[in-house]
Structure 1
Amino acid sequence: MNWLNNLKQKSPKQRFLFILGLLIFCFYLVLAYLVSFWDDFPLEVSITRRRIFSGLLVLYATFRFYRLIQKEED
């Protein structure tokens, strides 16, 4: 019966929020990549701290994606 629920049309609000959630997920991944690999980073931060921060951004993006998928299944 769960697959029948997936065939139903979503409301425009639900579609918009889902797409917005995907865009935010992609934004955090791109931000993590930029922080980690940008050679001329404008802030004076050690490479180790930049990599730790980018790892945290990836974890947060993964968490947001997981919550987005869980919300869609409800």
Structure 2
Amino acid sequence: MTTELSGVNLARQALVAAREQAKKNGATRKRKPKRRTGQAVRRDGREPLGLGTAVTWMMAERGMVWSPRP
């Protein structure tokens, strides 16, 4: 009795085979890429801001006052 693979099972089997072949060829990832921890400074001197900081500055420039509800 032979069962033919189709759909998800066929994709899983192909993925397993591709990973095994990659290991044999030495194409495995040795380590995870490092996350960026520093902030980038743009050439024109501007630095990226968080959304909350940008909104707070915008409100202050326009004279809007925000106060939390009691």
Q: Same fold (TM over 0.5)?
A: no
Higher relative contact order (CA closer than 8 Å, sequence separation 6+): 1
Structure showing the higher helix proportion among its residues:
1
Larger Rg: 2
TM-score normalized by structure 2?
A: 0.34
